[in-house]
């Protein structure tokens, strides 16, 4: 099968103008959702968690806005930037940061993430992608310094693999949080994720189905969810769907009034290398 490919906005290129009406609509929607308290900052993700070995390409800036809410209250929101910084095919490295809004001070708001890895099929045909990194690297002791290490493997099924190709992209890995207190003594867990085939539909570029899980009842992280990526253009998508916390305690830690919440996420990629 074809991998999920994304094109990127090129600065000072006419491609930007084609998507501008959609982009303005999405930005307006994002701005009007709400300003809420934040929780976890993420690198490249599947749906809820960074349950993917995918790494941001070199020189491509990723802008993200994530909101979470129920009928009666708003939950976490964060705005972040991530970019690939290594100009090599065999090894990629992405770094990023997120601002959690609102917070009492800068140290409580700022959270970093980074990971290194190799994309699929680079070393040999059929080679799975892998990545190792850390997310929720915080600076406010006892507030946001979860400091979670994780490792992921993932593979997009190939066209010549017969019926198995319809599985799409399958991902599996594990995490370990360095802050025992904040994670309620549940520092270790499993992460898994899945992407469907890209599905071409009229008007927009495509849609992609996604699901993932991060196990554990540790603060706000233990949850599962699934939804739909609506690619307005190859470089702009809107992701939406439900998230279910694996325990009432996790939901309460996140500020949710129920274990079932909804998410709306906006992603934009900008290629900084081209003019």
- Write out pLDDT tens, residues 104-161: 888 888 999 999 999 999 999 999 999 999 999 999 999 899 999 999 999 999 878 8
As a residue count, the chain comes to 275
Ranges of residues in the chain with a pLDDT under 70 are 1-43, 76, 275
Q: What's the pLDDT score for residue 177? A: 95
The fold for domain 9-271 equals Porin (2.40.160)
**Count of alpha carbons within 13 angstroms of residue 58, beta-carbon side:** 12
Q: Tokens 């290629």 appear where?
A: 271
Alpha-carbon dihedral 46, 159, 87, 48, rounded to 10 degrees:
0
Q: Phi-psi bin for 147: left (phi > 0), alpha (psi -120 to 50), beta? A: left
Which pTM value belongs to this model? 0.83
HSE, side-chain direction, 13 A CA sphere, residue 195: 26
Distance CA(84)–CA(116), nearest Å, equals: 10
Domain spans in the chain, listed from the N-terminal domain onward = 9-271
Give the separation between CA 75 and CA 120, rounded to whole angstroms: 35
pLDDT computed for residue 26 by the predictor? 42
Give the C-alpha separation, 239 to 14, whole Å.
25
Q: What is the pLDDT of residue 19?
A: 39
Q: Which contiguous run of DSSP H or E holds residue 83?
A: strand 74-84
Per-residue model confidence (pLDDT) at position 28: 40
Q: How far apart are the first and last CA of the chain?
A: 31
Per-residue pLDDT, 123: 95
- Give 253's contacts (C-beta < 8 A, 6+ positions apart): 219, 220
User: What's the confidence (pLDDT) of residue 219?
Assistant: 76
């Amino acid at each position: 099968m074809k991998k999920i490919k994304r094109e990127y906005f090129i600065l000072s290129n006419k491609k930007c103008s084609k998507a501008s009406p959609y982009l303005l609509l999405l930005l307006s929607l994002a701005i009007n959702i709400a300003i809420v308290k934040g929780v976890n900052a993420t690198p490249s993700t599947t749906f809820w968690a960074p349950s993917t070995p995918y790494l941001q390409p070199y020189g491509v800036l990723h802008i993200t806005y994530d909101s979470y809410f129920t009928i009666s209250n708003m939950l976490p929101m964060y705005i972040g930037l991530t970019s690939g910084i290594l100009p090599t095919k065999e090894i990629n490295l992405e770094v990023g940061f997120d601002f959690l809004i609102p917070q009492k001070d800068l140290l409580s708001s700022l959270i970093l993430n980074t990971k290194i890895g190799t994309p699929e099929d680079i070393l040999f045909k059929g080679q799975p992608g892998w990545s190792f990194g850390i997310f929720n690297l915080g600076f406010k002791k006892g507030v946001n310094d979860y400091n979670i290490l994780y490792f992921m493997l993932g593979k997009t099924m190939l066209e010549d693999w017969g019926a198995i190709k319809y599985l799409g992209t399958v991902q599996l890995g594990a995490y370990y949080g360095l802050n025992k207190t904040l994670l309620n003594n549940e520092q270790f867990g499993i992460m898994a994720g899945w992407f469907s085939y890209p599905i071409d539909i009229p008007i927009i570029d495509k849609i992609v189905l996604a699901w993932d899980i991060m196990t554990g009842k540790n603060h706000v992280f233990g949850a599962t969810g699934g939804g739909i990526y609506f690619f307005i253009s190859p470089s702009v998508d809107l992701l939406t769907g439900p998230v279910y916390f694996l325990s009432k305690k996790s939901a309460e830690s996140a500020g949710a009034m129920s274990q079932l919440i909804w998410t709306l996420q906006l992603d934009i990629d900008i290629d900084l290398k081209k003019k």
